[in-house]
Structure 1
């Protein structure tokens, strides 16, 4: 499949990241395409997995999760089977909303939400302290989000 993107594709992606519910008519008008051409481009972007999914972004606070922490985790060992098991464990915990396998001093960076510090302590005991592969972890409590899920733009500004 052709994954080459042009300026119209990039503009559509920027608009859809701002509001995925924008009508095809409005998108087509803004980008300067016909409605059928705009629709075909969006379907192509979905088929190619350039648009991975469409979601509603919900405030964790409204769902009862007012605290957000970034947790940096170091493992004792990094064998494939250990990594795979640990990743599955992290994926199964609803309070762990993002997981990144990273390079550097830590092996994983987690974004964790919690009702309160007591529930976060319970999570750390059950998920991190109880796992003998976890060497250590560091918790950063967020005070407020100043930028979140910002739209991606083309890496090259030469497209304009």
Structure 2
């Protein structure tokens, strides 16, 4: 899909505040509400806009720690990769999981309440997934940057 400067401007407004009104979006990008609405609907249909979410603080809900886990599997068969991915999807504390190249097969980001909670999660959930050969965990000490898509780096279609 080709995105022009208005589409990119609309995306930036929505990325900053998904609850912005059509009038506010239009004022920010220099269009009236109807063209903004049509562009938003088109970007939703085309899959550019995947949905709208609330940015919830994990700490406010008691999840004080984030753990990054590197996992290597015993096998790389399609069935093993599928089953591992399916098992991770069933663990609510798993925030993100990436199949990666390099020394490990997966990098997983997990939210936990504390070290005891992580130890419980390892015993009761993660280590019960068949096929794990090796894992390495590291607690996040501080988040230096949490970013969104760099829309300013996207060139508008001519």
Q: Which residue of 2 aligns with 1:93?
A: 91
Asked whether the 8 Å contact 1:18–1:151 carries over to 2, the reply is no
Q: How many residues align?
A: 158
Instruction: Note the 1:18-29 alignment, pairs <5 A.
Output: 18-29=16-27
CA RMSD of aligned residues (A): 1.8
Query: 1:48-77: CA deviations, max 9, x gaps?
Result: 111111000101111111011111111111
Q: Which runs of 4+ in 1 moved over 6 A?
A: none
Structure 2 runs not aligned, ≥5 long: none
The answer to whether structure 1 residue 69 and structure 2 residue 58 are counterparts is: no
Asked whether the 8 Å contact 1:70–1:112 carries over to 2, the reply is yes
Structure 1 runs not aligned, ≥5 long: none
| SS of corresponding position for 2:101 | coil
Q: Which residue of 2 aligns with 1:30?
A: 28
- TM-score when normalising by structure 2: 0.92
Instruction: Note the 1:144-155 alignment, pairs <5 A.
Output: 144-155=142-153
**C-alpha distance in 1 between matches for 2:148 and 2:154:** 17
Q: 1:114 aligns with which of 108, 112, 132?
A: 112
